[in-house]
Amino acid sequence: MDAVTAETASVTDAVFLSQRLAYPLSLLAMVGVVLGFGHLLTNRPTVDPDQHDEVKGPKIIVQSLMIIALFSVVDLVLTVTATNAGAMRELNPLGSHFIDDPAMLTVFKFAVTGLSIGILYGLRRKPIAHLASWWCCLLLTLLTARWVVFQSMFL
């Protein structure tokens, strides 16, 4: 009986936390998605070395990497709160191993995202890094847009 009561209290706390975070995170995500798409549309990538801008290229890549980092944190927070509240199930086969332990999921997410961002930052002067960071930024922007839709169902 005590275990069931503790589990119920844990889920109830998670639902309340999810409800408190839903509106501000949805607003942040909506603004971020608009800015992300604006960034993507104005900075189309090229892999042709003759068309690669040596001055603007690295700055654009750094902007893309900052958007990737921001959206990765938003995704992590929304994933943990929605999963703990019982509103969704983690389908990522790697992330689902860590979903029951938010601290381990956070370490995993920061390690993988940080390593990826670090590699792209190290290659920022190469045209292929612009293409790779653009696609990563697009994927995270679309994922964040999906979170906005998902969160709006519960507001």
**Torsion, Cα of 133, 139, 144, 145 (10° steps):** 130
Task: For residue range 5-38, list pLDDT tens digits in order.
Answer: 766 666 666 666 666 777 788 888 899 999 999 9
Q: Rounded mean pLDDT of 34-63? A: 82
Residue for token pair 């930052």:
121
Which pLDDT score is estimated for 13?
A: 66
Cα–Cα dist 150/61, whole Å: 29
Q: What is the pLDDT of residue 17?
A: 65
Q: Is 124 exposed, middle or buried (0-12, 13-18, 19+ CB in 10 A)?
A: middle
pLDDT category at 113 given cuts 50, 70, 90 is very high
64, 102 Cβ separation under 8 angstroms: no
DSSP state of 96: G
Break the chain into its structural domains and give their ranges.
2-152
The pLDDT score that the predictor gives to residue 80 is 81
pLDDT tens across 75-110, in order? 888 888 877 766 677 777 877 778 888 888 899 999
Average of per-residue pLDDT across 123-133: 88
What lies within 8 Å, CB to CB, of 148 at 6+ separation is 26, 29, 30, 33
